Structure 1
Amino acid sequence: MSVVDVPVSLAHDLVAALADALSPLGDGPSAAAAIALVTVAVRALLVPLAVAQARAARDRARLLPKIEALRTRHGRDPMRLRRELGALYTREGVSPFAGIGPALAQLPVFAVMYRLFVSATVNGHQNLVLAHTLLGTPLGQNWIGVIGASGLLAPQSLVFLGLFALLAAVAWWSSRQTEGPLRLLPFGSVAVAAFVPLAAGVYLLASTAWTAAERAVLRRRIAMA
C-alpha cells in the first residue's frame, strides 16, 4: 500500500461504515447521505483554512488601490517597485503570499476524496461505496456510459440530469458571489459531473454547496469585522 492509498483506504472504510449505519434509509439514500455527511465533516474541519484564505483575499482587495498606484508610479523601475511593494506589505502587516498556504493545504484532502469516488478498487479490493445505488442508478456509473447504453431519457439518465440541475443551481448561486470572468468557473462542476461516477457527482454537489455557503458567510462576517 502506497502513502497515497492509506488516506483513500481510511476514507473508504469511513464512508462504507457510515452507509451501513444509515441503512434504514435504504441502500441508495444511505450511501449518498454518507458521502454528503463525510464531505461536510471534512469541509468543516477545513474551516480555519478557509477563514485564513478569506482574510487574505480581503487584505489584498483593501491594498489593491495602493498597489496599483505604486505600479503606475514605479512601473518603469522594477527594483524600486519591489522595494515599495515590500514596504507597503510590511507597513500594513500583510503577506503577499497569504492565502496560498491554506489553499494548498486543502488540495490533498480534496484529492483523496475525489480519488475515493472514482476508483473501482481501493487497496486491491472492490470499492464498496460504488457498489451502492441511488434511485436505481449505480454510484459507480457515469452519465456518458448511461446514455450510451440506455439513452438520454432512461431512468438512470434522469437521475444524473436531476443532479446536474442541482449543481447548476449551486453554481448560479456561487457565481453571484464572484466578479469578472471567474463567474463562469462554478459551472465547470456540471461538466465534470457528466464524466465521473455518480458518487463523485454527489461529492461535488455537497462540496460546491458548502463552498458557496461558506463563502457567503465568511464574506459577511469578515466585512462586518
Structure 2
Amino acid sequence: MDLYAFPPIAALLDGAHAVLMTLAGLLEPVIGIASAAAAVVLVTLLVRAALIPVGVSQAKAEQVRSRLAPKLAALQQKHKKNPERLQRETMALYGEEGTTPFAGCLPMLVQAPIVGVIYALFILPTIAGHPNALLEQTFFGVPLGASLAGDLATGTVSPGALIVFGVVIAGIAVVGEITRRVLRPQQPVAAPAAPNRADAAGRAGATGAPANPLAAPGVATALGALQFITAVIAAFVPLAAALYLLVTVAWTLLQRVLLRRRYPLEVTRTA
C-alpha cells in the first residue's frame, strides 16, 4: 500500500506542493531559473525553524542524562543483582529530576510526520495523481528530479551535473566531519583530588571499560562514520532531496552547537 496515496496524506502533500510551487513562482523574478531550488532551501529553513522547540527539548533531555549518568552508574553497580530494585530506584531518580528516561523521544515522534511530508515533496515523481512539477525544474541546468547514481547508471551524467552533485555531496560530507569533530563524545576528566591515581587507573585498565562508553575508540569511529551516511544517501536521491539534506545537516549542526552552549553537558570526573 502506498501511504502517500492515502487521501488525507495525498491532500496534505498536494497542498504543500502548491505552496512550494507558488513560492518558487514568487522567487522567479528575483532569482530566475534557480527559483525552485531556492524555494526548496527556504521551505527547509522554515520547517527547521518551526521545529526549534523539538531541538530545545532534546538538548534539555541530553543535559539531564549527562547529569544523571554518574548516579545511574552507581545504581547499576549497587543493584546489579536485583533488576527489579534497580528499575524502581532508576525511575525514582528520574522522578526526583521531574523527567523520564524517554524525555526527548516524544518530540522526535511528533516531528517525524512533518519531516516525512516535506521530504516526500522532494522525492516523489507524482503527488495526488499529478506529476511533481518541482522535479521538472532545474538548478544550474540540472533537473531537480535527477540523481547522481541514476545518471551514472544510464550514462547520461553531464560535467555540469557532476559539479553540482559534487558540491552538494561534498558539502554534506564536510558538515558531517565538522559535526563529528565538534560534537564528539567528551572524555572523562580526572578528578584533581584523587587519593590514589595509580590504583584508579589500574582498576579502569582491569575492567577495560572507559568511564564514558560513547568515548570508546570503536564506538567513536562508528558514530563518526554515521555522519557520512547522509552524503551517501544524497548520491541516490533526486537533487531536490539532496539540497534538502544539505540544508538540514547544516542547520542541525548550527542548532546543536548553540544549544550545547545553552545546555552544556556535564563531564564525568574519574577518581
**TM-score range, shorter-chain basis?**
over 0.9
Q: Residue 184 of structure 2 aligns with which residue?
A: 178
Structure 1: state its 5+ residue gaps: none
Q: Which amino acid aligns with 1:26?
A: G
Q: Which amino acid aligns with 1:139?
A: L
Q: Which amino acid aligns with 2:116?
A: A
Q: Which moved more, 1:132-141 or 1:10-19?
A: 10-19
Question: TM-score, normalized by length of structure 2?
Answer: 0.78
Greater Rg over alpha carbons, structure: 2
Q: How far apart are 1:9 and its partner, in Å? A: 1.5
**Post-superposition CA distance 1:172-221 (Å, at most 9, x none):** 12212133232322211111011100000011011111111110111111
Which residue of 150, 162, 165 corresponds with 1:160? 165
Question: Alignment length, in residue pairs?
Answer: 223
**In 2, distance between residues paired with 1:44 and 1:10?**
20
Residues 151 and 157, structure 1, Cα contact 8 Å, conserved in 2? no
Which residue of 235, 238, 245 corresponds with 1:197? 238
Q: Residue 215 of structure 1 aligns with which residue?
A: 256
Q: How far apart are 1:94 and its partner, in Å? A: 2.2
**Aligned positions of 1:58-207 closer than 5 A:** 58-150=63-155, 154-176=159-181, 177-179=183-185, 180=220, 181-207=222-248
Q: Residue 32 of structure 2 aligns with which residue?
A: 26
**Post-superposition CA distance 1:50-77 (Å, at most 9, x none):** 1011100110111011101100110110
The answer as to 2:90 corresponding to 1:52 is no
Q: Percent identity?
A: 42
Q: How far apart are 1:8 and its partner, in Å? A: 1.6
Q: How far apart are 1:152 and its partner, in Å? A: 6.5
Residues 35 and 203, structure 1, Cα contact 8 Å, conserved in 2? yes
Question: TM-score, normalized by length of structure 1?
Answer: 0.94
When the two chains are superposed, the root-mean-square deviation of aligned CA atoms in Å is 1.6
**In 1, distance between residues paired with 2:46 and 2:85?**
47
Q: Which amino acid aligns with 1:213?
A: L
Residues 143 and 239, structure 2, Cα contact 8 Å, conserved in 1? yes
Q: Which amino acid aligns with 2:247?
A: A
Change (3 A) 1:174 1:6: farther
**In 2, distance between residues paired with 1:153 and 1:184?**
29
Q: How far apart are 1:86 and its partner, in Å? A: 1.4
**In 2, distance between residues paired with 1:67 and 1:96?**
11
Q: Which amino acid aligns with 1:80?
A: R
Residues 147 and 157, structure 1, Cα contact 8 Å, conserved in 2? no
Residues 74 and 81, structure 1, Cα contact 8 Å, conserved in 2? yes
Q: Secondary structure at the match of 1:118?
A: coil
Q: Which amino acid aligns with 2:264?
A: A
Q: Secondary structure at the match of 1:76?
A: coil
**In 2, distance between residues paired with 1:52 and 1:114?**
23
**In 2, distance between residues paired with 1:205 and 1:198?**
10
Residues 148 and 157, structure 2, Cα contact 8 Å, conserved in 1? no
Residues 43 and 207, structure 1, Cα contact 8 Å, conserved in 2? yes
Q: Residue 7 of structure 2 aligns with which residue?
A: 2
